[in-house]
Amino acid sequence: MSFAKSLALTFDKKFRGYFIVLLIVSVFLQLWPVFFTQPVRFALRIAICNVLLLLSVSAVYRYVPGKIITFILTLALTLNFAVAFSCWDIYQSEFNTVFAMSILATNASEAKSMFGLYAYLLPVVALYFVVTWYTVKSLSVNITPRVKFISVILLVLFMGWFAVTCFIKKKQDLEVYYPLSSRILVYTPLYTGAELIIAHRDNALAEQIIKADPHYPALQIHDTGIENYVVIVGESARRSNMQLYGFAQQTTPVEASFARNALVFSQAIAPASATVLAVPMILSNADPDHFTVDRLADNVVNIAAKSGYYTEWISAQGNSGKSNNYIVAIASTSAKHQWIQTRYDTDLLPALDEALKKPGRKVIFLHINGSHEVACDRYPESAAVLNTGDKYEDCYNNAIHFTDFFIGEVARRLQDSASSLLYFSDHGLEKNPELASLYMHGSRNPSKEAYNVPQFIWYSPQALENQKRRLGWVSEPWSTANNYSLMLSWLGIDTGTENCLSLLEHCYQPQSQIFVMDGGRHIFNYSQLRKNFSSPETAIPWRKAKSDSL
C-alpha cells in the first residue's frame, strides 16, 4: 500500500471517530453568517433542518446512488454557505433579492472580474465542503439504522409541516408576493435559493411588462405650453397630518403656499394600502379588479415616451424586492432610470438637476421615501423643527415637514420655466395607539386612514401665463387609481379613445363608488370602511381580485 493511500485511510478513520464533532462543525459553519444577520428563530429552524438532512442522507451513503445524492446535497449546501458567508463577510448583510438579481444578471466577464474579490474565501468554503462530506460519511458508519430511519421520518414531518403551513397561507393570500417554493426553502439550509427564485420571478415579470408594449394607433400630443413635468411619488403620507388640509401644526408650509397656484384634491383615495400595489395602479391602467400584465404595461411612463417626451425615473427606494417589483417593471420603460442608495430624499436633487438640463419636453418621476416607517430616520437632525415631546408623533410630523421642504426645493427648480408638478402619496397610514411608533400600514380590516392621501397639481407662473389651467379645490372623492387618465390629460396625450376618468376632461363624472385593496388582495368599497383604526371593528364585505390578476 502506498504511503499516500495509507495516510488517506488514517485520515479517514480519524474523521470517522469524531462524527459528532464533525456534525457540530458543519452545522455551525452553515449558521455562521446566519447568527449575524437573522433572528434566533431563523437560525434554530436552519439548524434543525440541517441536522436532519445530514442524518437522513447518511442512510443511503453506502450505496452508489447515495454517494451521488450526498455529493449533490453537499455541493448545494456549500454554495448556500458560500453565498451567505460572502455577503456577510464583505457587505455585512444577509443575502437578499438585490444580490440575487445581480447573480442572475451577471455574465462570464463580470464573474471573472469579481472572482478576485471573493478568492480569499475559498479556503473556508472548501473546508465546509470537506467537513460536511466527512460528516455524512462518518454518520453512515457510526449511527444505527434506527436513528437513520427516525431522522428520515422527522425530516419528512418537519418539511411537511412547513410546506402545508406555507400552502395554507398562500391560499389565504397572506403572502401573495412569495412563491410557495421560496417560502419552503426559507426553512432549510438552502435558504439563499428562496431569494434566487424571487429574483427570477421578478425579472421575468419586468420582462413581460416591457415586452407587452401596448400599441396606440391614434396617439396624439397636444401643446400644453409646459416643458417640464415632474411627478413626485410620495410615500406613507397621511392627509390628516398635513397643514395644507387643516392640521394644527405647520407641517406643510410650502404646500400651503402652493394652494393658489394649484389644483388640490381634498379627498384623494389611494387604491391600495401597500406601495407594491398602489403605485403600479396609480401609474398604469390597472385597477383593483384588473391587476394584469397588459394593464400594467399600459402605463403613463411608457405612453409618455411614445408621445415624444423624454422620460426619467429617479428613485430613493430599492430596485427589487417585495415592495418594488411591479414598480421597477414600470420604471424600466423610461428612457433613463436610476435608483440612488440614500438616507434622505434631498439626495435625489442633483439627479433632478441633471435631468432638467435635457432639451425639449420631459417627464421626470421622483420616487421618494417620504415618511415611511421608521419616520425618525427620514430626515436629518437639523430638520427636527417640530417638538411637542411626543417622540414618535414628532418624528412622523417632522418627516412630513421634510417632504414638504423637498417639494419646495423641486418647485424652486421649476419656478422660472414653464413647468408643472404633480404630487401624491402612494397610500396613507393607520394610527395605532398601541404601537410605540404609532403609525402602520393598513392590513386586514383596514380603515379609511390607510387610503386617505394628499394630492395636488402645481403650476409655475410661466405655465399659468401661457394657458388657462384648472385651479382650486376638488371637493368630491377622487381615486388615485384614475391618475393614469388624469396624467394623460395633464400631459396633453390623446390615445384616440374617450378619457372620461380624467377630472380634466369635459366628459368626466365623479365616481359613485371607489374600490380599494388591502395587502392580501381583498377588495373593499371605500365608503364601507371604518373611519380610523380606533373605530370599532365590523365585518366589512369584501371580494377577491379577478382570477387573471397577478
- Please report the pLDDT score of residue 117 as a whole number: 63
Mean pLDDT by 10 residues, the chain (550 residues): 51 61 90 86 91 94 93 94 86 71 64 67 91 92 90 92 83 62 87 84 76 84 96 96 96 95 98 90 93 91 95 85 71 91 94 97 97 91 93 95 98 98 96 85 86 98 95 97 97 93 95 88 92 88 76
Distance of CA 266 to the CA centre of its chain: 28
CATH classification (class only), 236-544: alpha beta
Bridge-based pairing state of the strands 220-221 and 493-494: antiparallel
Hey, what's the cell of 149?
430511519
- Please report the pLDDT score of residue 7 as a whole number: 45
- Please report the pLDDT score of residue 243 as a whole number: 97
- Please report the pLDDT score of residue 423 as a whole number: 98
- Please report the pLDDT score of residue 336 as a whole number: 95
- The residues, ordered by sequence, that sit 6+ positions from 276 with a Cβ below 8 Å of its Cβ are 177, 322, 323, 324, 325, 326, 327
Distance between CA atoms of residues 313 and 333, nearest Å: 9
Distance between CA atoms of residues 49 and 52, nearest Å: 5
| Model confidence, pTM | 0.75
Bridge-based pairing state of the strands 262-269 and 419-425: unpaired
Residue 292 per-residue DSSP state: -
- Please report the pLDDT score of residue 175 as a whole number: 47
| Cα torsion through 449, 453, 454, 457, rounded to 10 | -160
What are the domain boundaries of the chain? 9-204, 236-544
- Please report the pLDDT score of residue 313 as a whole number: 97
- Please report the pLDDT score of residue 522 as a whole number: 84
Contact 524, 515 (CB under 8 A): yes
Contact 117, 67 (CB under 8 A): no
- Please report the pLDDT score of residue 197 as a whole number: 85
